[in-house]
Amino acid sequence: GDCRRPAEQHIQSGSRFLVVIFRPPLYKSRGQKPRQFFIMDVSTTSAIIAEAEQIRQRYKKLAPLDALEDEKDYKTIVHSIEPARLAAILKTKFSSDGMCKVGPAGLKEEQARIFFEVYGPNKITPPQKENKWIKLLRMAFCGIFNILLWMCVLAMTILLFAFDDSKQEVRAEAGIKPGSPGFNDTVIELDEAGGDDIVTPILLSVIIVATAMLQWYTEMLAEDAMEAMQKMQGDKPVPTVRRDSAGNRMSVQLSSEDLVPGDVVFLEAGDRIPADVRVLYCTDGMEVDNSALTGESMPEPRHSHTEKPSQPPTEARNLAFFGTTVLKGNATCVVHATGDNTFLGKIAQSIKTSYVKSTLEIQIEHFVHLIAVVAVVVGLASLICNVLDPQPHPIGYIIANAAGALFAQVPEGLIPTVTISLMIASQKMSACNVLVRKLDAVETLGCVSVVCSDKTGTLTKGDMTLRDMVFFKSKTEMEGMTDFSKTDPDDKKTLGSKMLRGSVRNNATVIDGSNKFIGSPTEVALMKAGVSSWGVKRVKDVMDQPTLYEIPFDSANKYMFVAEPYAEGGQLFSLKGAPERVLRFCKYVYVGSGDSGSIVEITPEIQQIIEQNCKTLMGQAKRVLGIAEKKANYDANYKWDGASMEYAKDNFLKDMVFVGLFGIQDPPKPGVKKAVEDCQDAGIKVIMITGDHPDTGVAIAKEISIIPNQDQLPKYTVITDKDLEGMVPSGETFEDGDSPEARKLEAFWKEVVVHARVFARVTPIHKQLIVQALQKWGGMQADGKAYGDIVAMTGDGVNDAPALKQANVGVAMGIRGTEVAKDAADIILLDDEFASIVVGIEQGRLSSENLQKSISYTLCSKVPQCVPNFMELAGIPLALNVSQVLAIDIGTDIWTAIAYAWQPKEDALMARKPRHPLVEKIVNVGVLFYAYFYMGMMQMCCCWFFYFTAPGIWSNVGKSNFTPEEEHTNKVASTLYYYTLVVGQISAAMATTTYHESLVKYMAPNHKLNICIVLEVLFALLIIFEPASEDIFQTTGLTLHQLLMPWVTFVGITVIEEIRKAMARKKAHAREVVHPDGGRPALQRRLLDAADSSSC
């Protein structure tokens, strides 16, 4: 439109407009020519686009010059910018004192709305989720084993329709008409080809789809549980100040998602920091908990001073980060980054989402390749044998018979067995507060050989706890107290009671409910000790005593002083803080008790004893505080408010009486030590990876048995950030090669992955590289080759997320865990208990073991199923037709195989070394030898034995044409073969329930398997005696004697198996699991070695 119309006309017409300022390049200096401006009409979209670009250009001023447009690292200089300039960049307003408590402050509402359009909601973009329906289709129709099964279904369907039409053609070509001689024989032979078996492909299809739906439903339940957990955490409104269009102050409560850069927010103790903020004002001694980002359990102080540009932003004391917590004090802050632009957001977006095959997928793929080769070989051999058979068969019969032999080698029950096994393991883990997000992770957890764990919040409680009170027992010795339940706040003489009462006189700590505390971690630790010992009411009685004078704790003084009225008259002064600061004001010390008669003067010897005990506590990675007191007798009308700080130091704090020392630490969780030892008994290394100080990590590691409790540790046991300098790859991951760097890294990390048990002061990227190194150079086997460790990584913080994603199994904490950590994990510990991992490992091993037993059972029948086809070449009438084979595979074996999913564990399950999926596969030589050449051969011999017990069958050997009576004899023999094989499979089902434990001891605890065995017998009897089934499966009724005799097979195979297992137990040598550091005795259980235990 007309760009030069007066602005008033635009305003009156309600048009949106931008003031465009233009200065010709010629006029660069001030005063030469005034800048020209004019008003343009623009659309709403154009205005927002233009404004958005201006905002982005201004926002770039908060980043260093080397920051890229799509910078992946967290780079900012906001900590080095003066508040006045920062306000100009963000188009916001601060008060001169930075508190912003009165007067206009913050963004204007209109500006905030535009910023929201540009920056979007203040939330981290979650990982892209697969559409649930596409996920269902992928589970049903993708996956190498499912593809193999669908190919079988397709082939069966093609054979069904192709040979249904070919029957008429075969009869026509042969000149055979209904009612003519040979018509019934031809019908029987064609029907044996399986052309009418429409039930088999339908049933197999239903099994595949139903199994996929089971897995899909289970994982959907886990996702729903995750979402419900996120909703329960809620979103506390954030006190914010903004300005209206007239510039007046507006105090509002905003959702954290509505915050934008430039918003001025108010934070207090206990608040979760809603965005990345710059501190404008804070109370002295303000502290934040950054453990979710850094892994360090110690609180970090904050101030409002401008930092130097050289200071890394993550170490700047005037910045606070999204997702961390205010522990102490309150602050006024300005938001400078939201959502994906925050430090937490940058880490979340940096996590790789590339798909990595699980160990189960690798195992299934290996098995499919193996079974495909076996099936094709058997199918081709059957085809060749039928072609070379002296008795000619129709082409349809030959192809269908070969296809049936091929299908018989495919264990159709594998996928449902796998899925149901993992579902059951998942349900058992859920009962132990372990949420499985991906079913495959259960099996992988069973293969884990290394558990890498964050320290804070995972191995430890995640909050500071009073663990020791140390005081003088005599002039030459101090003693410690760890049980505080015997103390009493009214006890004036016992030193333990005196110390604990003085510690809870802490006005900076607020009790919010019986188990909730707000304040600095150190003061909360002291308060919790009092509450757990005396109860809330008695602690509040102590806290509610009037305070006459107080010197609050600050980072400069490092002590806190309180004066209160004394019940017996006068005043009681108490001082607590850093031991060296407290001792500076102490002249005396209590020895033995807390009465006045036990006060002695501090001598150099006593001073040395105190210092030595301080070093002992510090050597245990404990935070040490000292406490002192004295009684005073100031006048009742003394003006305490008039006492200056200097006067108090010179008079109130003079000649204090030292009481004792506090040892405060973030302690290990109950049960962690036993869980670590259980892992080590199972051959699993536990490695601590922490961002905390090495001394803290080593002390906790010794306490929970990760490393031996000795002063001198072997080389490489503890690795720090300094050790890792120059030992990380220049790229994103380790690479093979002969370069000097590659050789240096390989030599270093090969030692580290074997010996290291504690990594301290490491960054999130270090954590990820440590997991990569274990996966690359760990897992050394007996052949001297490193196959890579199977690594489980546990953690709760954002700093753990890259490693959680890199690990074979990522395990996040459900309570303390950040959303970023949970999104990166495969398993969530809902109760945050490290011990739950042992439950998961046990269930993973059990599911793998049951899967191996199920496959072994299924394969046992394959030899007696395929041999009859080849025996036809020798003139022996066909002992087992295709319909009978499918009756065993689909009718009975598949359900029995699935029932193995409920099989209870054997005693020695957690005493074995981890099974490496690349070394000891689920389907290995041992399994194949057991199924094909041991159990399969016994079954086959028994089947042929009872086949030849059919009266008159020997006379039919070598014949090609049979009379009706001879046909009946063949049917009786075939039925005996089929029935004996069913009984043989029942014996195999019982035998394979244990590897080497006797059935006399183990019994039959799997009731579902027992039911399947009974149904298997009933189904076999139905096929034998039901007239309709006799026509379909070419069976005939048997006598009572013939029904009972094949059970000799069950007795014989069971007895032989018991003898084999007894011999194996007698001469078996243990797979000894030795503690890698030699700190604990070797496991003494005797088990089968790897080769023997890999077979059933």
Give 84's contacts (C-beta < 8 A, 6+ positions apart): 94
Query: For residues 902 and 1006, is the Cβ–Cβ distance under 8 A?
Result: yes
DSSP for 673-730, written as a single string: HHHHHHHHHTT-EEEEE-SS-HHHHHHHHHHTTSS-S-SSPPTTSEEEHHHHTT-S-S
Place of tokens 């044996």: 192
- Could you tell me the two tokens for 443? 């099996």
Helix, strand, coil percentages (3-state) for the chain, rounded to 5, are 50, 15, 35
- Could you tell me the two tokens for 526? 């002291």
Does the annotation count 454 as an active-site position? yes
Query: For residues 692 and 455, is the Cβ–Cβ distance under 8 A?
Result: yes
Of 578, 586, 555, give the one whose Cα is nearest residue 653: 586
DSSP for 1011-1072, written as a single string: HHHHHHHHHHHHHHH-HHHHHHHT-----HHHHHTTHHHHHHHHHHHHHHHHHHHHH-----
d(CA 382, CA 397): 11
How does 595-614 read in b/e, with b if 16+ C-beta sit within 10 Å? eeebbeebeeebeebbeebb
Residue 627 sits at φ, ψ, to 5 deg, of: -135, 140
Of 192, 155, 610, 646, give the one whose Cα is nearest residue 396: 192
β partners of residue 276: 337
Residue 685 sits at φ, ψ, to 5 deg, of: -80, 140
The active-site residue, picked from 454, 692, 823, 893, is 454
CA distances from 496 to 466, 533, 591 (A): 13, 12, 12
Give 819's contacts (C-beta < 8 A, 6+ positions apart): 124, 126, 230
How does 437-454 read in b/e, with b if 16+ C-beta sit within 10 Å? bbbbbbbbbbbbbbbbbb
Q: Which helix (H) or strand (E) holds 63?
A: none
DSSP for 448-486, written as a single string: --EEEE-IIIIIB-SS-EEEEEEEEEETTEEEEE---TT
The dihedral over CA atoms of 293, 451, 355, 447, expressed in degrees to the nearest 10, equals -170
Strands (E), 482-568: 510-511, 517-518, 549-551, 559-565
Give 219's contacts (C-beta < 8 A, 6+ positions apart): 135, 437, 438, 439
- Could you tell me the two tokens for 1044? 């009972």
d(CA 1033, CA 195): 13
Query: For residues 206 and 153, is the Cβ–Cβ distance under 8 A?
Result: no
Residue 560 sits at φ, ψ, to 5 deg, of: -130, 135
- Residue 471: half-sphere exposure toward Cβ, Cα within 13 Å: 25
Of 355, 337, 346, 335, give the one whose Cα is nearest residue 125: 346
Of 204, 378, 397, give the one whose Cα is nearest residue 861: 378
Q: What's the burial of 527, exposed, middle or buried (CB within 10 Å: 0-12/13-18/19+)?
A: buried
Which SS3 state, helix, strand or coil, does residue 423 take? helix
Strands 827-829 and 465-474: unpaired
Residues labelled catalytic: 454
